[in-house]
Chain A
Amino acid sequence: MNSAKRSGPMPPPMALWLDGPAIAQATGWAWKPEGLCHGDVCVPLPPRAANGGYVRDGRLNLAAMWRRSGQPVVHDAASRTWVLGTGAEQRGAALATLKAPDFALPDFQGRVHQLSQ
């Protein structure tokens, strides 16, 4: 799960403003000039991103970008805890390779087991 907890003034609803390092820490994605990137995949910023509510004061509206990439974004009532979900297209594409998606889960004694191992 990609999650981010924010502190400071409450943002407007459905906006999650984070700087580059915070984005990387929360999601593993990198905010680059070409957009929001993960490995070889980049989701480009829309034209006039600053005017469109995507970029402000050195921060990116991660929620807007996440939704722009077709992935779900939900948050608690206080907009302090967010879940950046994985989109259906990404899930479907992974399954359609017929390569079993890897995962790591604990047993009830806390030992983590990974499918690929």
Chain B
Amino acid sequence: MPVWQSLFDELKDHAFTILAVALDQADAARPWIETAKPAYPCLIDRDHHLADLYNLVNVPQAVWIDEQGRIVRPPETAGSTDGFRAMDRKTFAVSDAVIAERNRVKTLYLSAVRDWVLRGAASVNALDEGHAMAKLKVPNGVVAEAHARFRLGQHLLRKGRTGEAKAQIAEATRLHPDSWAMWRQAAAKNERGLAAGPEFWARVDALGRGHYYAPVDVEAPPD
């Protein structure tokens, strides 16, 4: 996305990089990557290995990792909001207020990243060990099985065993309903390659008051 490219261009000389990972097949991610032409690495994780390692459930999520390889901020929503849920599903229009809030949150998150890159551990959003541990969500055994079934399903898809593959991925999704990333892989796609059809909206609506994206939880850095 352009906002991440801009941030990278601004901060790359401060020992900062972005590692973008597509929880998707290469062919599905390619058009987006080729359009964006990012200067930072964009990787393909077709088996959702990263989701398994870091307990990721949706995109975009971000993990802040410092130069020592320490997790400074565990996986969290990377500046997105649930504003899309207010979209007119026929016209795809969203209100100015929703757009403004979406932009405000995105700007806030990017400013938090910037502040951390420039201030390091002194940044207000750089979590110490205790706070990082408090925000960390670890998987349970059911999620671990879901990841194993998902990987089997992806393997079977590559072998052309579509029916059995879909059954494994469906079971993975049943075991790990919080993972939109898993669900999305087997969901019907629109002409843009997005799983944004009636099935998606039904699943979103079923959240009720629950969040699709966990709210962004960063403080505005001091000026």
Q: Point out residues on A near B: beta carbons under 8 Å.
A: 1, 3, 70-77, 81, 83-88, 91-92, 94-96, 98-103, 105-108, 113, 115-116
Across the interface, which residues of B come within 8 angstroms of A95, CB to CB? 54-55, 71, 74, 136, 138
Interface pair A100/B70, CB less than 8 Å apart: yes
Nearest 4 A/B pairs, CB to CB:
A85-B148, A92-B138, A105-B43, A72-B145
Proximity string of chain B (74-88) to chain A, C-beta cutoff 8 Å, 1 when within and 0 when not = 100000000000000
Report if B132 contacts A (CB, 8 A): yes
Query: In the docked arrangement, what's the CA distance between A101 and B65, Å?
Result: 10
Which one of A1, A100, A116 lies within 8 Å of B71 (CB-CB)? Answer: A100
Across the interface, which residues of B come within 8 angstroms of A92, CB to CB? 138-139
Query: Given that A76-B164, A85-B148 are contacting pairs, would A70 and B141 also be in contact in the complex, using a CB cutoff of 8 Å?
Result: yes
Query: In the docked arrangement, what's the CA distance between A116 and B70, Å?
Result: 11
Show 10 residue pairs from A and B whose CB-CB distance is below 8 angstroms, ordered by the A residue: A72-B145, A74-B168, A76-B156, A95-B71, A103-B49, A103-B50, A105-B21, A105-B49, A107-B44, A108-B30
Interface pair B55/A87, CB less than 8 Å apart: no
Chain B: residues with Cβ within 8 Å of the partner, total of 45
B contacts with A: majority SS:
helix
Which one of B129, B136, B140, B144 lies within 8 Å of A71 (CB-CB)? Answer: B144
Nearest-neighbour CB distance to chain B for A98, whole angstroms, equals 5
Across the interface, which residues of B come within 8 angstroms of A98, CB to CB? 70-71, 129, 132-133, 136
Interface pair B132/A74, CB less than 8 Å apart: no
Interface pair A85/B50, CB less than 8 Å apart: no
Interface pair A85/B29, CB less than 8 Å apart: no
Report if B7 contacts A (CB, 8 A): no
Interface pair B155/A106, CB less than 8 Å apart: no
Report if B115 contacts A (CB, 8 A): no
Interface pair A100/B63, CB less than 8 Å apart: yes
Query: In the docked arrangement, what's the CA distance between A115 and B139, Å?
Result: 21
Query: In the docked arrangement, what's the CA distance between A3 and B70, Å?
Result: 30
Query: Given that A103-B50, A113-B41 are contacting pairs, would A74 and B70 also be in contact in the complex, using a CB cutoff of 8 Å?
Result: no
Nearest-neighbour CB distance to chain A for B152, whole angstroms, equals 5
Across the interface, which residues of B come within 8 angstroms of A116, CB to CB? 69
Interface pair A99/B69, CB less than 8 Å apart: yes
Which one of B29, B70, B138, B149 lies within 8 Å of A91 (CB-CB)? Answer: B138
